[in-house]
Amino acid sequence: MEPELALLWEVSIAEFIFVTVILGGGGAWMIGRSTALTWSGWGLLAFYLLLLTIAVRFIHFSLFGGSFFLPVRTFGTALHYAVVDYIVLFAIAAAGRSFVRSRQMARQYGFLHQDRR
């Protein structure tokens, strides 16, 4: 496939949605969920997402002809799209973490929300 080189996607929007949003987003949601369930901090979530972003960039590279970090001539392009992927994955992971954490708080501290009449 010939790359389109848009601001958010490198090869095509369908490839971006499939790899970054669906595949990577599912992993990001699980990372957010696991950090919420173990009461871990945001730093651990950010580190796990960095690893996931590298894996997502590799899938873009190996299956769809996108750029990767190692030929030095493609490093700048790969870094740009890695930052885009990281931001998208971070948003999905933060939503997953927030969803699970709010359920935890409601379950464990439900007495705070009882009607006191």
Mean pLDDT, residues 41-49? 96
Q: What total number of domains does the chain contain?
A: 1
Residue 2 within a domain: no
pLDDT at 92: 97
Residue 54 within a domain: yes
Residue 5 within a domain: no
Q: Find out whether 37 and 105 touch, Cβ atoms under 8 Å.
A: no
Query: Is residue 91 over pLDDT 90?
Result: yes
Residue 1 within a domain: no
Residue 18 within a domain: yes
Query: Is residue 84 over pLDDT 90?
Result: yes
Give the residue numbers spanning the domain of 63. 13-111
Mean pLDDT, residues 49-65? 92
Per-residue pLDDT tens digits for 16-28: 999 999 999 999 9
- Which pTM was predicted? 0.84
Residue 81 within a domain: yes
Tell me the pLDDT band of 59, cut-offs 50, 70 and 90.
very high
Tell me the pLDDT band of 77, cut-offs 50, 70 and 90.
confident
Query: Is residue 117 over pLDDT 80?
Result: no
How would you class 106 by CB atoms within 10 Å of its CB: exposed for 0-12, middle for 13-18, buried for 19 or more?
Answer: exposed
Mean pLDDT over each residue of the chain, to the nearest integer:
88
Residue 99 within a domain: yes
Query: Is residue 43 over pLDDT 90?
Result: yes
Per-residue DSSP letters for the chain?
------SS-SS-HHHHIIIIIIIIHHHHHHHHHHHHHTT--HHHHHHHHHHHHHHHHHHHHHHH----SSSGGGHHHHHHHHHHHHHHHHHHHHHHHHHHHHHHHHHHTGGGGS---
Residue 105 within a domain: yes
